[in-house]
Structure 1
Amino acid sequence: MTELRAVQGSLTAVQIEDISKAVRAARSKNTQRAYASAWRHWASWCEHYGFPALPAAAGTVAAYLTERAKEGRSVSTLDTARAAIRAAHRDSAHLDPTTNPGVELVLKGLKRQQGSAPRMQAHPLSTDELRRIIDCIDRESLRGKRDTALILLGFAGALRRSELANLSVRDLAFRTDGVVLTLSRSKGDQEGKGVVVGILRGKVKLSDPLFALRDWITASGIQDEDPLFQRIAWSDRRVTRQMLTGESVNQILKERSSAAGFDDLRISGHSLRAGHATTAAEKGVPSDRLARTTRHKNLATLARYVRPAEVLRDSSSGSLGL
């Protein structure tokens, strides 16, 4: 960005805007929104106390993070705030105050005070729980066929709700023993290189992702270029050609789970992905093999699901004769 500022005088307004768009595209839309929200709060706080928000002093950042922690904000919120301040300074070619050793030390201390262990936000669905949900769906209806395929595919592929919503029919390559999904864009693939996920044919017809997919595609009449999962008209007789959103996926799973009697569990769209990871770990699937399916680049994140299963397998309490 420093070099860009140096040559801005020789660039046209269109060229500068194109470069700015490319810089913005380097971060996902979700990240952009999170940073924008965090920056607004930071800028407002600085204005209230009379501190410059950009460029900011390391001491100002440390004071801000400390005050946010005293308000009861989570470690994740503090990390997002720090990342937003860092990004704004680097994008503007200013010295990054968040790398100051003092800020690092303060943040480390705040995390120790609060505890930085991640909280399980979504209940990880087990295979039995998933089958119970599927059993309660009317699979003769068009909406039932869609929801069954969506839920089974999300669980079998450890898919994020955004990945499910963004799938097109052309992203599926059916094989004799399974189906290969091509994810053109996902959280772990921000550059859009594309990743593939293999899903094997199920052993039981009623919980077979392949059967459910074919059943849905045939009944809906959707074509290669169409979104795989679409909104359905109130008549339940036709699709609308409008793709679902990540929030729609979330709502569908919540409603289907409630109908199966799981109101007491914290179930959301993430329950499918978390359920895959947890169940596979409990079955003894090695972490490296599991990571290839879940596309976790950070094994520390995957360990949230793997470690509980390993702890139970390795525990000596079973030898106590209780």
Structure 2
Amino acid sequence: MHDIEPVNAAALIPAADERAALVERWAARHGVEAAARLAQAEDFADAVSAEIRPENTEDTYTKSWRVWERFCAAQGFPITEGSRGALVAYVAWLLREGRQRPGPGGVLGYAPASARLHLDAAIVGLRRAGYTVTKDDAAEARVALDGLEVKLIKAKERRGRGQAVAADPDGLYAIAAACDDSLEGRRDLALILTGFHYASRASEPAGLLNADVSVRAKGLVISVLTGKTKHSVRSPKIPYASDPTICPVRAWIAYREALVAHGGDEHRSPTDSAFHWIDQHGNIRGPLGPDGVTQAIKRIAARAGIPVKWTGHSLRSGLASTGRRKGKDAVAIADQGGWARHSRSMLGYMQRDDGWDDNASAGLT
């Protein structure tokens, strides 16, 4: 099997041939000089695309391309052909046996959401390498995936982790009660309360610096600069809470004061990480990374005795669902949490508690 990554030099040869043919057509239409300028513009566009593409997106493409390679090897298909039949067969294989190791319940097939990601990444990889995948063929593969997902649901076979359990004010109170006055306890409370109020992804508090969190008269302004989209790069405002027990602003101030008291004035620096890893002896270590944030959220919630496990996305889900329940405008929720307005993802987070209080048929007759 050929070891072809979607961005390596060998894979770009067909794309280079295609570009040369395009330049020839431009030269015939507009002259050689204009064609050369247009070719330079294409090179510039490629450079801009590479510059703005998030590293984790590139990593996802690379990993998913390896899944496509495994499928092609298993089926005896060339990896360069994204035909209708190959793509439909790919989604069926992903759902049936695509995993290298069994998932929950011993299932070898991917969850539909993961299969969708792998399909989209394979299509992107093929096109970036200069191989043809038509819109109709890609669309048919996606329709096939949707149909196969319906069959799984009808068979009552549910895969994947499902939607994150939403954090809520009751959980915040439980966490506040379980956080002591130690440096770790103050950090934990600040991490949870601030993260809840701006619907943080795990990567966002991990990417914050001290200078990115500004204390103002009415509360905090958080400059989230590590987002993947123009919506997620934002500056949400977090007001003081009416109850000091679960106030994110007071929790942040108390945490940073404790950090300076324990670690010295270096933690006043604007370039100091917002959240640090603190070891079991109370020693301040390096920045808390995204995985560390996720593990901290799980650990903090478990310590507080929250009966349903929180995940790294519980704070994000919590702002959307709690905000909706309290009548907040969907546009305001989207802007605070860094979603596109009317985002399907955000609407999915706006969970109904039990289907009775928020029921479309309630009160109609």
TM-score (norm 1): 0.83
The aligned counterpart of 1:226 is 272
Contact 1:90 1:96 in 2 (8 A): yes
The aligned counterpart of 1:44 is 70
Contact 2:82 2:123 in 1 (8 A): no
> Which amino acid in structure 1 is aligned with residue 202 of structure 2?
R
The aligned counterpart of 1:164 is 205
Q: Which moved more, 1:51-60 or 1:21-30?
A: 21-30
The aligned counterpart of 1:112 is 150
Matched positions, count: 306
Contact 2:84 2:141 in 1 (8 A): yes
The aligned counterpart of 2:357 is 312
Contact 1:86 1:98 in 2 (8 A): no
- Partner secondary structure for residue 222 of structure 2: strand
Q: Distance in 1 between matches of 2:329 and 2:357?
A: 15
Contact 2:110 2:159 in 1 (8 A): no
The aligned counterpart of 1:15 is none
The aligned counterpart of 2:170 is 128
Q: Would the alpha carbon gap of residues 85 and 98 (structure 1) be closer, same or farther in structure 2, given more than 3 Å must change?
A: farther
Q: Would the alpha carbon gap of residues 319 and 60 (structure 1) be closer, same or farther in structure 2, given more than 3 Å must change?
A: closer
Task: Give the drift of 1:307.
Answer: 5.6
Q: Would the alpha carbon gap of residues 199 and 57 (structure 1) be closer, same or farther in structure 2, given more than 3 Å must change?
A: same
The aligned counterpart of 1:302 is 346
Q: Which moved more, 1:69-78 or 1:253-262?
A: 69-78
Contact 2:195 2:205 in 1 (8 A): yes
Q: Distance in 2 between matches of 1:272 and 1:198?
A: 16
Please, which of 288, 300, 304 is the counterpart of residue 244 of structure 1?
A: 288
Q: Would the alpha carbon gap of residues 175 and 81 (structure 1) be closer, same or farther in structure 2, given more than 3 Å must change?
A: same
The aligned counterpart of 2:330 is 287
- Partner secondary structure for residue 174 of structure 1: strand
Q: Which moved more, 1:107-116 or 1:197-206?
A: 107-116
Q: Would the alpha carbon gap of residues 119 and 285 (structure 1) be closer, same or farther in structure 2, given more than 3 Å must change?
A: farther
The aligned counterpart of 1:34 is 60
> Which amino acid in structure 2 is aligned with residue 112 of structure 1?
V
Residues 8-49 of structure 1 deviation map (CA, whole Å, 9 limit, x = unaligned): xx9xxxxxxx99886554432332232222211211221232
Contact 2:65 2:121 in 1 (8 A): yes
Contact 1:39 1:85 in 2 (8 A): yes
Please, which of 167, 174, 184 is the counterpart of residue 215 of structure 2?
A: 174
Q: Distance in 2 between matches of 1:209 and 1:165?
A: 17
Q: Would the alpha carbon gap of residues 169 and 94 (structure 1) be closer, same or farther in structure 2, given more than 3 Å must change?
A: same
Please, which of 171, 176, 197 is the counterpart of residue 236 of structure 2?
A: 197
Identity %: 26
Q: Distance in 2 between matches of 1:186 and 1:160?
A: 9
Kindly name which structure, 1 or 2, has the bigger radius of gyration based on alpha carbons. Answer: 2
- Partner secondary structure for residue 179 of structure 1: strand
- Partner secondary structure for residue 87 of structure 1: helix
**Structure 2 unaligned regions, length at least 5:** 1-11, 24-35, 37-43, 98-108, 261-266
> Which amino acid in structure 1 is aligned with residue 328 of structure 2?
V
Q: Would the alpha carbon gap of residues 94 and 273 (structure 1) be closer, same or farther in structure 2, given more than 3 Å must change?
A: same
> Which amino acid in structure 1 is aligned with residue 130 of structure 2?
A
Q: Distance in 2 between matches of 1:301 and 1:117?
A: 18
Q: Which moved more, 1:252-261 or 1:65-74?
A: 65-74
Contact 2:111 2:159 in 1 (8 A): no
- Partner secondary structure for residue 350 of structure 2: helix
Q: Distance in 1 between matches of 2:45 and 2:361?
A: 59
Q: Distance in 2 between matches of 1:118 and 1:281?
A: 26
Q: Would the alpha carbon gap of residues 26 and 51 (structure 1) be closer, same or farther in structure 2, given more than 3 Å must change?
A: farther
Q: Would the alpha carbon gap of residues 247 and 119 (structure 1) be closer, same or farther in structure 2, given more than 3 Å must change?
A: closer
Q: Distance in 2 between matches of 1:259 and 1:164?
A: 21
Q: Distance in 2 between matches of 1:250 and 1:183?
A: 17
**Structure 1 unaligned regions, length at least 5:** 11-17
1:62 aligns with 2:88: yes
Q: Which moved more, 1:198-207 or 1:226-235?
A: 226-235
1:185 aligns with 2:226: yes
Q: Distance in 1 between matches of 2:81 and 2:364?
A: 61
Q: Which moved more, 1:298-307 or 1:40-49?
A: 298-307
- Partner secondary structure for residue 175 of structure 2: helix
> Which amino acid in structure 2 is aligned with residue 87 of structure 1?
V
Q: Distance in 1 between matches of 2:124 and 2:74?
A: 22
Task: Give the drift of 1:121.
Answer: 3.4
Superposed CA RMSD: 3.1
Task: Give the drift of 1:183.
Answer: 0.8
Please, which of 87, 101, 112 is the counterpart of residue 75 of structure 1?
A: 112
Task: Give the drift of 1:97.
Answer: 4.6
Contact 1:55 1:95 in 2 (8 A): yes
Contact 1:280 1:290 in 2 (8 A): yes
Contact 1:35 1:80 in 2 (8 A): no
